[in-house]
Amino acid sequence: MDNILFYLKGLLTQFKNRLTMLNPNDPPKAFLLNEILTSSMNAGLQTRNHEYPVYKKDVKDFKSKECMVLEIRKILLSYAKGFENISETDHFEKIRSLTQHITEKYGDILHNDTFRLGISQKIINLFLKYLWCLGWIKEPFHCPFDSIIKDRLINGDSSIQLADWTKMNSMDEYYEYVKRAKERATASGYSIPSWELHAWNNRNSNNAQNSIGKDCQDIYK
């Protein structure tokens, strides 16, 4: 009984620590949060696919762009604060609902009047990845899906069909990414986030046994 109480007390302490870590009133943490939010937003909004941009061509409504970005940042912060109680089903819904909400509110400035689901998942999953790596939240359910991870998931298997993340616009396409990621991660003995970290850190390395990016290896010799 004492062991159980000790374990539960430890979990409660960990939970409280995570809430404290996400406190934006702490200047160093506020700085990190701002940098993480900016990096996550940029990764999703600055796509390299010129056929599928985020915004309509020649959009001059910069105020709406700014409002959209600020609204997504607020949604991300709110999601992170309650992430301890989130399930994988809730996470799927958050990606779907962000896509729908931004589409309905800002469609006038968006390419094809749509905030694509691929952009939503990239922003949300990357934001959570940063927070998890800092120990501020529990391990996320998924990972940011982009062209690099897509290539790792396909791994030369022409039978695997995955949408380009910049074009992805349905939950079925996202489910397929998650399914393939679970298969790869399980086969490697990892969770999806841990597998993705390993794959991402080794994206420029031929040494699959090393979990540190090739450009960082000399530091840890």
Digit-by-digit pLDDT tens for the chain (221 residues) are: 555 544 444 444 444 445 455 666 778 888 999 999 999 999 999 877 889 999 998 888 889 999 999 999 999 999 999 999 999 999 999 999 999 999 999 999 999 999 999 999 999 999 999 999 999 999 999 999 999 999 999 988 989 999 999 999 999 999 999 999 999 999 999 999 999 999 999 887 654 444 444 444 444 44
> How many other CB atoms sit within 10 Å of the CB of residue 78?
10
Alpha helix ranges (H) inside 56-170: 62-81, 88-106, 117-133, 147-154
Q: What is the residue type of 143?
A: C
Among the listed residues 136, 141, 139, 140, the one whose alpha carbon sits nearest the alpha carbon of residue 16: 136
| 101 CB-side CA count, 13 A | 12
> How many other CB atoms sit within 10 Å of the CB of residue 121?
30
